[in-house]
Structure 1
Amino acid sequence: MIRFGELRRYLDTLEALGDLHRVTRPVSADLEAAAISRLSCERQSPAPLFENVEGVAPGFRLLGAPAALSAAPGRPLARVALSVGLPAETTAAELVDHLARTRDVQPVPPRLVAREDALCKQNVLLGDDATLDRFPVPRVHEFDGGPYANTWGIIVARTPDGRWTNWSIARIMLIDGKHMTGLVIPAQHIGMIWQEWVKIGEPMPYALVQGGDPAIPFVGGVPLPPGVDEAGYIGALHGEPVDVVRCETVDLEVPAGAEIVIEGHLSVGRDAREGPFGEFAGYGSTETSMQPVYTVEAITHRDDPIWPLVAEGRPVDEFHTVTGVGQAAEVLAELRAAGLPVTTAWSPLRAASHWMVVTVPQDWRERLPHVDSAELTHRIGKVLSESHSGRATAATFVLDDDIDPADDTDLLWALATRIHPLNRADAWYGFVHPLLNCYTHEERAAQSGPIVFHDGLLPAPGEGRLPHSSFAQAYPEHIRRRVLEHWDD
């Protein structure tokens, strides 16, 4: 396992892979840094580190595309794998399996360290000095409602009774140097905890953490079950505790290696208009909503702090590599817990987290006697239709594991040739994610609609299954070996 403990050691590793580009010319935080980050995602270029940001003190930096697809040859998931402590060459199936298995590992609680040992306490700003005006808060898209103070940081929040401490990612828009507002959706964990504070009529203490060990924002984007502390899951992921330190003004602990920590309280009411913002489906929203207000009461930061930036939009960016991978891991864990034979699950990155693929092993019929493909697909649908992660995608395709769902060429061929244009599908009605663009406006507003499970399983051997006409399967081994030996000729 690889554990970085802080953002800068991770960046050193990316640089050694040729996957980090230091941008030393002056760059504006108003759209320009985000535009470079967006293009780097679309071209699968090295992550840009902006070392000369206009309008802020020297040394204040921005980092774009911190967990997007990698430019390292043959290692497209390097940033994602490294973020959770795995080697750069880790495959999609290995990555999802590792995350799913960690669900069953005993959590490792965080370790409290002294204030003087915490890098995030190198600079402490209180009172009037605690203002975001001194930081390079980026404006991400031209049509956004304002600069966005959070696209890749975690919000630390705790229930009033202290039973659950949640680290999660949600977008937060800058109002002014002392105030922010952001999405607080009731079905999401931040919304669940906020509602508990609303019930007792008190503003919710929060800490917004930018930077730190790359596993922290990654796990903050994974849809773990309600009540699970992300800090303990990260400890289990690494096999050792996360170092945390007490905040200055609120009763919370934050990762000690963070780059920037913003502290304060979240208002009881929905007092400010948030949005619009370019979302993960690849479209710019025109809608706004009333959301609670984050008041800034203290800021601590490292010397020469780095503010991470995600230029969310068309795939592939961090939403797809992190939330999509996290959802796949949860789906895999839930199906295995239900005793169903599943090889892997994968949210195809270029499908913008709207699809899920579940593959099953070739011997699934032996494991489930007297069960046909329709019944297996139905059983998978029943499990996932009752889970948050299962309902977070609109369509799930059940396929044999003779294809790699993370290989777009493999997957497109399988979907085109194995999915019936009308039949062999099971629809389950209920909650749907309001940001999935494939639904109607009415369905998104009501957060209700169908999720569909497609049976793409092949017939049993000897019952109409056709052989593959590919190089790997249509020729005997001695012919394939001879072809490969002489390929350069």
Structure 2
Amino acid sequence: MARPKDLRAYLEALQELGDLRTVDRVVDPHLEVGAVIRRSYETRAPAPLFTDIKGAAPGFRLLGAPGALSSVPDRPLARIALSLGLDSGAGAREIIDALAGARTREPVAPRLVESGPCKQNVLLGADASLDRFPTPLLHEGDGGPYVNTWGTIIARTPDGEFTNWSIARIMMIDGKHLTGLVLHPQHIAYVWQQWADRGEDMPFALVQGGDPALPFISGMPLPDGVEEAGYLGALLGEPMELVQCETVDLQVPANAEIVIEGHLSAERTGVEGPMGEFAGYRPHETTMQPVYTIEAITHRDDPVWPTVVEGEPVDEFHTATGLTLAAEALTALRAAGLPVTTAWEPFEMASHALVVSVAADWRDRLPGVRTDELAERITEVIDAQRFAYLVPRLFVLDDDVDASDVGELMWALATRVHPTGRRIVREGKVLPLLSVYTPEERHAWRGPRVTYDALLPSAAEGREPRSSFRHIFPAEVQQRVLETWDA
């Protein structure tokens, strides 16, 4: 199967897998759309494609759960793998290796083209309004309809030296105005702050649809100065094709479904939130955030607007943020020369934990090093990364455990993590959306982070063999059982 290069080719790939369900009946954007998408996550159903949304213009469509776990039994990561240009049967380690491997390659700069599908319809002035688009209220109690949950915000520093592609939630105020989270140390806040310090509104473009890899990489915690567009080119092996915006000096993917252009205010005058979030709860609080003013909208004929309804695992926050953060962790640990095989943010732990798997021969590669010393070295590398404030718990495990297998991981954590000892606790910056912290810690953006040394002792120290079919029986016995199993 060829790599799907835009959202429509991606929908065709999902249809071929049996992982897409078209919803032709009229659905209400007030909570019903959100409830259908939410239930699709919790039942591992095919991705719902809504074709008749009450109040939206005829032909306008909405795709739910675009990057969630697949309904195909033997291909749980199919939506993720297809989005990233891999075979639909790719497993966790293969996906992480692909993401981490691309970080070591030279960026492939995007290419500017004259036009593209996103320019099929151009709305300017008063016509540039979201009133005709599907704008669902996703959770009961949300502060308003959230129109950006899977789209990419494009912004550039005033000096033109750095262009950021990122994801942040954006809430609709009215057809012409939006507000959304602009939080430090995220790069969108870095860019916005430079404009705000000059007393100027920030030009922006908000992209919905396009290459299915785009949202995953827009949520990746890349280091300062690394641009998502070039990394995407390295990952996919070809440059992204961009077109010039209509009203702002920014370039956007030519194959996007919808592009919203305008300026983000230099002042925080919008009341944003609350919104049901990735931890699995809906907070009560609101914050003051900048306001987006829409000046132009371009879109394809019969556009498709992808939508995520965050909540209890597993949804796109857990898949996209978890995978890309783990890949960035693996990149940093490999660069430090540490004997790790992979990293993983377990989806079911709601992006509240990172597992680092250590190679079986790590003692040969680091003679004389104790488990606590290795755990300390790993902790120092992770703490030096800009995403460290997103990782309240770090588990260091032997790689005999497949951390992406939730049953195997739970067994290992229960039997290898000491109840009170073998841990490294330190204080530092934390993301206030992490529900594990107290209200006081969340308001202060500061709290404890912990590393658990769950490495087993060496064979010389009395390491006990695993008592399972795969580990405690000779290979020839396993083979004989497997060959005669059906009989």
TM-score calculated relative to the size of structure 1: 0.98
Q: Name the amino acid aligned to 1:179.
A: H
Q: What is the CA–CA distance in structure 2 between the aligned matches of 1:184 and 1:402, rounded to whole Å?
A: 41
Deviation track 1:58-107 (CA, whole Å, cap 9, x = no partner) reads 10000000000001121101111111101111110111111011111111
Q: Which runs of 4+ in 1 moved over 6 A?
A: none
**1:273 corresponds to which of 271, 274, 288:** 271
Q: Aligned to 1:472, what secondary structure does the other structure show?
A: helix
User: 1:200 Cα shift?
Assistant: 1.0
Deviation track 1:219-277 (CA, whole Å, cap 9, x = no partner) reads 11111112211111111111110010000000000000000000000000001100000
Q: What is the CA–CA distance in structure 1 between the aligned matches of 2:2 and 2:344, rounded to whole Å?
A: 23
Q: What is the CA–CA distance in structure 2 between the aligned matches of 1:130 and 1:450, rounded to whole Å?
A: 46
Q: Name the amino acid aligned to 2:205.
A: A
Structure 1: stretches of 5+ with no match in the other structure: none
Corresponding position of 1:287: 285
**1:410 corresponds to which of 405, 408, 411:** 408
User: 1:211-250 to 2 correspondence within 5 Å?
Assistant: 211-250=209-248
Q: What is the CA–CA distance in structure 2 between the aligned matches of 1:112 and 1:323, rounded to whole Å?
A: 28
Q: Aligned to 2:461, what secondary structure does the other structure show?
A: coil
Corresponding position of 1:63: 63
Corresponding position of 1:443: 441
Q: What is the CA–CA distance in structure 2 between the aligned matches of 1:207 and 1:228, rounded to whole Å?
A: 19
User: 1:427 Cα shift?
Assistant: 1.2
Q: What is the CA–CA distance in structure 2 between the aligned matches of 1:345 and 1:336, rounded to whole Å?
A: 11
Q: Name the amino acid aligned to 2:34.
A: A
Q: What is the CA–CA distance in structure 1 between the aligned matches of 2:38 and 2:323, rounded to whole Å?
A: 20
Q: Name the amino acid aligned to 1:50.
A: F
Q: Name the amino acid aligned to 1:380.
A: I
User: 1:370-409 to 2 correspondence within 5 Å?
Assistant: 370-409=368-407
Corresponding position of 1:82: 82
Corresponding position of 1:180: 178
User: 1:116-127 to 2 correspondence within 5 Å?
Assistant: 118-127=116-125
Q: What is the CA–CA distance in structure 2 between the aligned matches of 1:33 and 1:225, rounded to whole Å?
A: 36
- Give RMSD over aligned pairs: 1.0
Deviation track 1:104-162 (CA, whole Å, cap 9, x = no partner) reads 111111111112xx100000000110011110111110110000110010000000001
User: 1:69-218 to 2 correspondence within 5 Å?
Assistant: 69-115=69-115, 118-218=116-216
Q: What is the CA–CA distance in structure 2 between the aligned matches of 1:431 and 1:3, rounded to whole Å?
A: 39
Q: Name the amino acid aligned to 1:120.
A: C
Q: What is the CA–CA distance in structure 2 between the aligned matches of 1:238 and 1:486, rounded to whole Å?
A: 43
Q: Aligned to 1:268, what secondary structure does the other structure show?
A: strand
CA contact (8 A) 1:2 1:87 kept: no
CA contact (8 A) 1:345 1:356 kept: yes
CA contact (8 A) 2:4 2:13 kept: no
Q: Name the amino acid aligned to 1:443.
A: E
Q: Aligned to 1:462, what secondary structure does the other structure show?
A: helix
User: 1:2 Cα shift?
Assistant: 4.9
**1:456 corresponds to which of 437, 454, 457:** 454
CA contact (8 A) 1:331 1:390 kept: no
User: 1:260-339 to 2 correspondence within 5 Å?
Assistant: 260-339=258-337
User: 1:3 Cα shift?
Assistant: 3.4
CA contact (8 A) 1:53 1:61 kept: yes
Q: What is the CA–CA distance in structure 2 between the aligned matches of 1:475 and 1:302, rounded to whole Å?
A: 59
Q: What is the CA–CA distance in structure 2 between the aligned matches of 1:289 and 1:345, rounded to whole Å?
A: 34
* Aligned CA distance change for structure 1 residues 230 and 2 (closer, same or farther; 3 Å): farther
User: 1:363 Cα shift?
Assistant: 0.6
Q: What is the CA–CA distance in structure 2 between the aligned matches of 1:478 and 1:203, rounded to whole Å?
A: 69
User: 1:338-349 to 2 correspondence within 5 Å?
Assistant: 338-349=336-347
Q: What is the CA–CA distance in structure 2 between the aligned matches of 1:298 and 1:478, rounded to whole Å?
A: 67
Q: Aligned to 1:271, what secondary structure does the other structure show?
A: strand
CA contact (8 A) 1:385 1:428 kept: no
CA contact (8 A) 2:93 2:342 kept: yes
Q: What is the CA–CA distance in structure 2 between the aligned matches of 1:149 and 1:168, rounded to whole Å?
A: 15
User: 1:391 Cα shift?
Assistant: 3.0
Q: What is the CA–CA distance in structure 2 between the aligned matches of 1:310 and 1:136, rounded to whole Å?
A: 13
Q: Name the amino acid aligned to 1:108.
A: V
